[in-house]
């Protein structure tokens, strides 16, 4: 992997790279007359392996929870309400089990597939999880790759015996394997990888909160993260094994504790073990623009000190939701179909929207996650006229939206909304459902939902090239909050990555002015409604394929076949 470090002052290069990101976004738009470039044929029998493994790396099984934490969903959002657990094999096992693990197996006829706690476009799961630790009882110091099928850690890099730190150092990281998405979606796939990465970060933030920890973002240069995860070791990706893109690093921190030194300070003389498996033996297409855009948008050395994370809001959560958070996390599924008659009372809408305000869990997982705003389409909300509404998520965003959207819109504040919800009615329109079906790639989910959302990202100019990634990941965080909040309301959500970008922009009058693109871009759509279940699909437990814990422990030293 190559990465060019930019001097912070090299503004011209940054501008050029930001323009490359914007150009990628433009070219990966679906248009009513033409979908973005993608494969013309798919060989469904030759799907890439859904599980990355590092053959030769020793496997450390993680215990499965005997009982889920009882913490109610609302308490999860109250800083300090959950006592911090000590770092251990069990507590870190719980972190992964409630964020990136398998959630169930599904079967329909001869087809059998797994679904995970975190959602993913097309269920293709480009996001890989990592643990970097030192001084955790029961765990080897070093770099571990999380293997969701085994619910186990592969020790990718062991550290030679070194003095134990005074308190454990625990970091989690994410990488993406773009080919997993590109295999099916072609050029638009990079967007889905970034949205998925945001969902995964959100899933980790909720699971960390259940252990009483904060997921503290650590902005670092991509080249450093690649080196710490061993992703730049070409010799460990032999025979065409697909590369992984470094995405995010977090420190897991109990509240009121000091930051640990970054892994670069203590990952000394790592002993690398294992080689990546090849996921797709016969890739039929190449989409070079994805690699070019990844290269252009890698955070550089200057990123490390660029931004401080938002503090977590200390306000009480918007709604009494007594159900255990872990139950919502486990049962979250994307709706495949909605009941087109279902309705919602507007008083139930307010907590849903309040859950999207910045500064709350999970938005503290990204620095400055307040650059994506919510355009809401209310179809069947009692007490709210059908139509389009706007929820800016920052003062600056409100000003930008006001400047960019036509003055001819209603711009009527929704007086019934709670004081902390700056909700504006843009246009009443009782016949919007059909339009939204069309806009969402003709998917019935668009018209049958109670609510549709389009997430509008501040886009031009992008302040840094990697802000492109941050905008899409922020949208993914919003999506994760929407999925779980919908479950808390006994509804269901579905993320919608397939939509006709500029048709949506035109609908609300967001048209390019002097710049080649509108200053705001819809980067992700979402639908919420009452799910109809498909009784032909059977569901079974996620880890019935694993032996019981004592036998799994006997496997500790065994590496994958
Ligand atoms: C970024 C993203 C985009 C998605 N786009 C669509 C979509 O356009 N249409 C759809 O039916 N489902 C979409 N989904 C839902 C996925 O298909 C779903 O997450 C996946 O099948 C796994 O199922 P689960 O969410 O129940 O775990 C999307 C999900 C994500 C995270």
* The pLDDT of residue 174 is above 80: yes
Predicted confidence at residue 549, as pLDDT, reads 83
At 419-431, the pLDDT tens digits run 999 999 999 998 8
> What is the whole-number distance in angstroms between the Cα of residue 493 and the centre of ligand 1?
9
Dump pLDDT digits (tens) for 86-119.
Answer: 999 999 999 999 999 999 999 999 999 999 999 9
Same domain (yes/no): 266, 341:
no
Specify if 258 maps to a domain: yes
Spacing of C-alpha 463 from chain mean position: 21
Same domain, 151 and 193: yes
Task: Decide: 211 and 95 in contact? Cβ < 8 Å.
Answer: yes
Nearest Cα residue to atom 9 of ligand 1: 496
Mean pLDDT of 270-281: 97
pLDDT in tens, 434-467: 999 999 999 999 999 999 999 999 987 889 999 9
Burial class (CB in 10 A: 0-12, 13-18, 19+), 536: exposed
What's the total number of domains in the chain? Answer: 2
Which residue range forms the structural domain that includes residue 342? 331-529
Q: What average pLDDT does the segment 382-398 reach? A: 96
Ligand 1 centre distance from Cα of residue 498 (Å): 10
pLDDT at 307: 43
Which residue has the CA at smallest separation from atom 20 of ligand 1? Answer: 123
226 and 366 in a single domain? The answer is no
Q: How high is the pLDDT of residue 212?
A: 97
Percent of the chain with pLDDT over 70: 93
* Percent helix, percent strand, percent coil in the chain, to nearest 5: 30, 20, 45
Per DSSP bridges, beta strands 344-345 and 381-382 are: parallel
Does residue 310 lie within any of the structural domains?
Answer: no
Residue 359 sits in the same domain as residue 253: no
Whether residue 257 is found in the same domain as residue 383: no
- Note the pLDDT of residue 312: 54
- 146 and 18, same structural domain? yes
Domain CATH code at residue 199: 3.40.109.10
- Residue 470 inside a domain? The answer is yes
530: CA distance to ligand 1 center in Å? 16
Quick one: pLDDT at residue 301? 78
**In the 8-state DSSP scheme, what is residue 378?**
E
73 in a structural domain: yes
Is the Cα dihedral 318, 323, 325, 327 positive or negative? Answer: negative
Q: How confident is the model at residue 515 (pLDDT cuts 50, 70, 90)?
A: low
**What pLDDT score does 348 carry?**
94
Nearest-angstrom CA–CA distance, 75 and 72: 5
pLDDT at residue 287, as a whole number: 96
Indicate whether 557 belongs to any domain. Answer: no
**Pocket test residue of 120, 336, 445, 473 for ligand 1, highest count of atoms within 8 A of CB:** 120
Question: According to the model, what pLDDT value does residue 559 have?
Answer: 46
Pocket perturbation via mutation, ligand 1, pick of 331, 334, 335, 469 by most ligand atoms within 8 A of CB: 334
- CA separation for the pair 551, 553 (Å, rounded): 5
Taking the centre of ligand 1 as the mean of its atom positions, its distance from the CA of residue 496, in whole angstroms, is: 6
Residue 134 has pLDDT above 70, yes or no: yes
Contact 16, 158 (CB under 8 A): no
Give 336 Cα–ligand 1 centroid separation in angstroms. Answer: 9
Q: How many CB atoms lie within 10 A of CB 558?
A: 10
**Averaged pLDDT score across all residues of the chain:** 92
Pocket lining for ligand 1, CB < 6 angstroms? 115-116, 119-123, 192, 195-196, 199, 333-334, 443, 445, 494-498
- pLDDT, mean of residues 393-405: 95
Confidence at residue 561, expressed as pLDDT on a 0 to 100 scale:
37
Is residue 116 reached through a cis peptide bond, with omega within 30 degrees of 0 on the bond before it? Answer: no
Kindly state whether residues 65 and 152 are assigned to the same domain. yes
Same domain (yes/no): 127, 275 = yes
Per-residue pLDDT tens over the stretch 280-312:
998 989 999 999 999 999 999 755 444 455 455
> Distance from the CA of 495 to the center of ligand 1, in angstroms?
5
**Is 50 exceeded by the pLDDT of residue 557?**
no
390 pLDDT exceeds 80?
yes
Nearest atom, ligand 1, residue 120 CA: 31
What percent of the chain clears pLDDT 90, i.e. is strictly above it? 82
Cα Rg of the chain, angstroms: 23
Q: What is the structure's pLDDT at 45?
A: 81
Query: Closest ligand 1 atom, CA of 445?
Result: 11
316: in domain:
no
Best residue among 125, 493, 497 to mutate for probing ligand 1's pocket (most ligand atoms within 8 Å of CB) is: 497
The answer to whether position 22 is within a domain reads yes
pLDDT, tens digit, for every residue of 139-168?
999 999 999 999 999 999 999 887 889 999
Q: Answer yes or no: is 534 within a domain.
A: no
Whether 210 and 71 map to the same domain: the answer is yes
**Same structural domain, 73 and 192:** yes
Residue scoring higher pLDDT (26 or 518): 26
Whether the upstream peptide bond of residue 362 has omega within 30° of 0, thus cis, is yes
What spacing in Å lies between the alpha carbon of 44 and ligand 1's midpoint? 18
Over residues 313-329, the pLDDT tens digits come to 444 455 667 899 999 99
Q: What is the pLDDT of residues 71-86, one digit of tens each?
A: 999 999 888 889 999 9
My answer on whether 223 and 342 are in the same domain is no
pTM (2 decimals)?
0.96
Domain identity same for 297 and 340 = no
In this structure, are residues 246 and 231 in contact, taking their beta carbons and an 8 Å threshold?
yes
Going from the Cα of 436 to the center of ligand 1, the distance in angstroms, rounded, reads 17
Which among 116, 121, 68, 195 has a CA at the least distance from the CA of 472? 195
Give the distance (Å) from ligand 1 centre to CA of residue 206: 19
**Which atom number of ligand 1 is nearest to the Cα of residue 498?**
8
The pLDDT of residue 2 is 37
């Amino acid at each position: 992997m190559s990465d060019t470090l930019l001097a912070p002052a090299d503004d011209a290069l940054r501008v050029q790279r930001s323009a490359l990101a914007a150009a990628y976004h433009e070219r990966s738009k679906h248009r009513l007359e033409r979908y973005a470039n993608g494969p013309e044929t798919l060989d469904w029998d030759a799907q890439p392996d859904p599980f990355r493994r590092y053959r030769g790396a020793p496997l450390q099984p993680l215990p499965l929870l005997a009982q889920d934490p009882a913490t109610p969903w609302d308490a999860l959002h109250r800083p300090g309400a959950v006592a911090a657990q000590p770092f251990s094999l069990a507590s870190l096992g719980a972190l992964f089990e409630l964020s990136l693990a398998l959630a169930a197996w599904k079967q329909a006829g001869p087809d059998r597939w797994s679904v995970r706690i975190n959602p993913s476009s097309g269920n293709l799961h480009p996001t890989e999880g990592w643990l970097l630790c030192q001084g955790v009882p029961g765990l080897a110091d070093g770099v571990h790759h999380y293997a969701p099928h085994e619910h186990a850690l592969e020790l990718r890099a062991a550290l030679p015996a070194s003095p134990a730190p005074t308190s454990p150092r625990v970091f989690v990281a994410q990488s993406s394997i773009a080919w997993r998405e590109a295999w099916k979606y072609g050029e638009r796939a990079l967007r889905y990888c970034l949205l998925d990465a945001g969902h995964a970060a959100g899933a980790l933030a909720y699971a960390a909160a259940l252990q009483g920890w904060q997921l503290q973002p650590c902005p670092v240069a991509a080249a450093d993260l690649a080196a710490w995860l061993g992703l730049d070791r070409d010799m460990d990706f032999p025979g065409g094994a697909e590369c992984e893109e470094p995405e995010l690093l977090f420190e897991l921190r109990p509240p009121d504790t000091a930051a640990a030194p970054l892994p670069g300070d203590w990952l000394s003389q790592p002993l690398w073990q294992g080689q990546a498996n090849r996921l797709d033996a016969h890739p039929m297409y190449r989409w070079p623009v994805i690699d070019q855009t990844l290269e252009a948008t890698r955070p550089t050395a200057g990123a490390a000190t660029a931004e401080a994370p938002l503090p977590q809001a200390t306000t009480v959560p918007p709604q009494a939701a007594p159900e255990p958070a872990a139950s919502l996390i486990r049962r979250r599924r994307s709706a495949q179909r909605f009941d087109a008659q279902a309705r919602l009372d507007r008083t139930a809408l307010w907590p849903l929207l309040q859950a999207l305000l910045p500064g709350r869990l999970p938005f503290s997982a990204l620095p400055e996650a307040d650059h994506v705003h919510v355009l809401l389409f209310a179809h069947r909300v009692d007490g709210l006229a059908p139509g389009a509404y706007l929820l800016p998520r920052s003062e600056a965003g409100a000003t930008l939206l006001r400047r960019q959207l036509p003055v001819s819109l209603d711009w009527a504040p929704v007086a019934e909304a709670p004081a902390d919800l700056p909700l504006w009615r843009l246009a009443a329109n009782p016949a919007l459902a059909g339009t939204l079906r069309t806009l969402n790639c003709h998917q019935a989910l668009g018209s049958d939902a109670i609510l549709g959302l389009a997430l509008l990202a501040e886009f031009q100019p992008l302040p840094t090239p990697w802000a492109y990634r941050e905008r899409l990941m922020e949208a993914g965080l919003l999506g994760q909050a929407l999925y779980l909040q919908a479950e808390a309301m006994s509804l269901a959500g579905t993320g919608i990555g397939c939509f006709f970008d500029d048709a949506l922009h035109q609908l609300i009058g967001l048209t390019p002015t002097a710049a080649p693109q509108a200053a705001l871009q819809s980067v992700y759509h979402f639908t919420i409604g009452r799910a109809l279940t498909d009784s032909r699909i059977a569901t079974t437990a996620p880890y019935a394929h694993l032996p019981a814990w004592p036998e799994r422990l006997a496997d500790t030293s065994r590496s994958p076949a």
